[in-house]
Structure 1
Amino acid sequence: MTYSASDPGENQTISDVFILLQIVLFLVLLVTYLVALMGNLLVILLIKLNPSLHTPMYFFLVNLSFLEICYTSSVVPQLLVHLLVEQKTITIAGCAAQMYVITIMGLTECCLLAAMAYDRYVAICHPLHYSTIMSGRACAQIASASWIISISVEVTTWIFRLPFCGSNRIHHFFCDIPPVVKMACTDTSKNEIMVFTVSVLFIMSPFLLIILSYICIISSILKLQSAEGRRKAFSTCSSHLMVVTLFYGTALITYLRPKSSSTPDSDLIISLMNTIVAPVLNPIIYTLRNKEVKGAFRKTLEKKTYRFKLIKIT
């Protein structure tokens, strides 16, 4: 079906449909963002309020939930604003800041997921030395190193030194590295090599550590005589494995696939998965599949209900 530009009635109909779609998309994204915020905040509060969850695994989970809040908050609010205004613009400084925050969050998540895999490795393969190896001090040092290393990796400056030409239109919903590099009107091969190198070092290295940890974990689990013991051991790792698969699946496709196989539509879908869908799914994965977290949630609700009844009686 074709539309005549000279018919004002049809133009008005198309405009109304477009505005309606924008409103629907705005509401969907707003609800998704609020769910992501509440889910990750709930995980942090549950762990902080329940001493039984003050273990290395949940310490790293608090860091991961805080990271997810920062990650999605660096993208979605700006996207929501752009859905409400006609001129969808962002300053160069704002674009650089957004890219810098996203890069830090992504690299830190790689390191934290590797740290969580190492924690599971020590817990299953060296249970007698677990409390010594994964002490509170050691966990704090690992988490601090993850953040410091990520902050020190300077990719954004290299990219924004490139000359940009044309309309400076980003075919994306936020300032991610691949779409911004495509805007440059010069040879970007060196920059692409730099991004690829950083991706290999800070995405693939933790990924290889995760794989190595789980090879040792699976080998130890299979040696257990009890079927119930094997089931419990696998269940402690299943949530982490699901989050690793979701995160690394999108990260590897985004930053390590050949440039020839990249299209604007596929980049948008992958980025939506990483920046909006993953922060919503991760708290659900760690709560619905974790008996300790569900138990802590029930205890917290019971305590709050009991206190509320006491206040009401008095």
Structure 2
Amino acid sequence: MSLLQEGELSGQHAEGTLGTVVTEFILLGLVETPGLRPAVFVLFFFAYLLTVGGNLSILAAILVEPKLHTPMYFFLGNLSVLDIGCITVTVPSMLSRLLSHKHTVPYAACLTQLFFFHLLVGVDCFLLTAMAYDRFLAICRPLTYSSRMSQMVQRMLVAVVINHFYCDLPQLFQLSCSSTQLNELLLFGVGFIMAGTPMALIVTSYIHVAAAVLRIRSAEGRKKAFSTCGSHLTVVAIFYGTGIFNYMRLGSAKLSDKDKAVGIFNTVLNPMLNPIIYSLRNPDVQGALWRVLRGRRSVAG
């Protein structure tokens, strides 16, 4: 899932050794035609501004609107912070290379970007799981929801989560001169733990949620209950769908332009769509955003 696709290695021979020390990577980028680079720069620059602005707006609405001081929106605010981090790790460096016409990235910078991107994506996995658990408690255990999802529990869940174009592992594996089979197996195993386990917990939560909602006799009640989960399920489907497409195919002989499209989805479109998805059908968020834009604040009732 890489915007900056597989390139070549630029290395130098270390004195007194027969090996090659990798000093930088050459990134091929999104487009090969120089004339298209200004258009790509403008497109991704505005996408970056829109993503950061949209997520900051959601965060501001949650902070200033008393009606949104609930566990669901507490987790959503943290998701907005993560989305800003994910796109900031990847897109600004890509934009700087488009401006400078440089295709190289130092080895240390590449690995630093790789570390922080996967750290943030890993945190995303666990945060989406915490949001699914919140919906499970709200719908399946409403009488004990307040005690089980107290402010202390919310903070503990986020703290556990935290502890737990761009360089990406599939592209780096393609550049290796030796066998990467063991590396791919290790990545698959780590990915299963970091993404598969949260996904299993999310599915389990929503199986219980669906069973509880279907027992509601009122059609309006069922619709309202499902609507509170729709946004989260959409985000989960997009997040895991693109991740599985990218990381479950590491044994393929050649990464294609389709991987660039997946990379754009993961690094740019996902963070940009999340605030839209969560505000599109949510009148509380829409009202809070409107009051933030007008500089007004509602009174807690």
Q: TM-score, normalised by structure 1?
A: 0.82
- Distance across 2 between alignment mates of 1:239 and 1:261: 36
- Distance across 1 between alignment mates of 2:240 and 2:102: 34
Q: CA deviation at 1:301?
A: 4.4
Aligned length: 267
Question: In the alignment, is the contact (CA less than 8 A) between 1:67 and 1:105 conserved in 2?
Answer: yes
- Distance across 1 between alignment mates of 2:110 and 2:47: 23
Question: In the alignment, is the contact (CA less than 8 A) between 1:122 and 1:130 conserved in 2?
Answer: yes
- Distance across 1 between alignment mates of 2:275 and 2:253: 32
Establish whether residue 87 from structure 1 lines up as the match of residue 96 from structure 2.
no
Question: In the alignment, is the contact (CA less than 8 A) between 1:115 and 1:142 conserved in 2?
Answer: yes
2:277 to 276, 282, 285: 285
Q: CA deviation at 1:217?
A: 0.4
2:80 to 65, 89, 94: 65
Q: Deviations over 1:209-248 (max 9, x none)?
A: 1111111001000000111110100110000011001100
Equivalence for 2:252? 260
Amino acid at match of 2:136: Y
Equivalence for 1:140? 155
SS of structure 2 residue aligned to 1:105: helix
CA 128–305 in structure 1, closer or farther in 2 if over 3 Å, else same: closer
Equivalence for 1:246? 238
Equivalence for 2:208? 216
Q: Deviations over 1:182-234 (max 9, x none)?
A: 21211211111110001001111101111111110010000001111101001
Spell out the pairing of 1:152-301 with structure 2 (5 A cutoff).
173-257=165-249, 259-260=251-252, 263-301=255-293
Equivalence for 2:6? none
Q: CA deviation at 1:257?
A: 2.8
Establish whether residue 97 from structure 1 lines up as the match of residue 112 from structure 2.
yes
Structure with the larger strand share: 2
Amino acid at match of 2:146: S
- Distance across 1 between alignment mates of 2:295 and 2:92: 35
Q: CA deviation at 1:85?
A: 2.3
SS of structure 2 residue aligned to 1:147: helix
Question: In the alignment, is the contact (CA less than 8 A) between 2:55 and 2:83 conserved in 1?
Answer: yes
Amino acid at match of 1:225: R
Equivalence for 1:37? 52
Question: In the alignment, is the contact (CA less than 8 A) between 1:239 and 1:290 conserved in 2?
Answer: no
Amino acid at match of 2:82: L
Question: In the alignment, is the contact (CA less than 8 A) between 1:57 and 1:119 conserved in 2?
Answer: yes
- Distance across 2 between alignment mates of 1:87 and 1:124: 52
SS of structure 1 residue aligned to 2:105: coil
Q: Deviations over 1:257-281 (max 9, x none)?
A: 3522762312211111000111110
Amino acid at match of 2:97: H
| Greater RCO, 1 or 2 (C-alpha within 8 Å, sep 6+) | 2
SS of structure 1 residue aligned to 2:185: helix
Amino acid at match of 2:268: I
- Distance across 2 between alignment mates of 1:260 and 1:305: 53
Amino acid at match of 1:194: L
CA 54–69 in structure 1, closer or farther in 2 if over 3 Å, else same: same
Question: In the alignment, is the contact (CA less than 8 A) between 2:139 and 2:212 conserved in 1?
Answer: yes
Q: CA deviation at 1:39?
A: 0.3
Structure with the larger helix share: 1
- Distance across 2 between alignment mates of 1:125 and 1:262: 46
CA 241–261 in structure 1, closer or farther in 2 if over 3 Å, else same: farther
Q: CA deviation at 1:300?
A: 3.6
2:138 to 110, 114, 123: 123
Structure 2 unaligned runs (5+)? 1-31
Question: In the alignment, is the contact (CA less than 8 A) between 1:44 and 1:65 conserved in 2?
Answer: yes
CA 62–235 in structure 1, closer or farther in 2 if over 3 Å, else same: same
Q: CA deviation at 1:88?
A: 1.4
CA 136–179 in structure 1, closer or farther in 2 if over 3 Å, else same: same
Amino acid at match of 2:106: T
Q: Deviations over 1:31-68 (max 9, x none)?
A: 10100000000011000011111111111111110000
Amino acid at match of 2:273: L
Question: In the alignment, is the contact (CA less than 8 A) between 2:170 and 2:250 conserved in 1?
Answer: no
Q: TM-score, normalised by structure 2?
A: 0.85
- Distance across 2 between alignment mates of 1:200 and 1:250: 15
Equivalence for 2:23? none
User: Sequence identity, in percent?
Assistant: 40
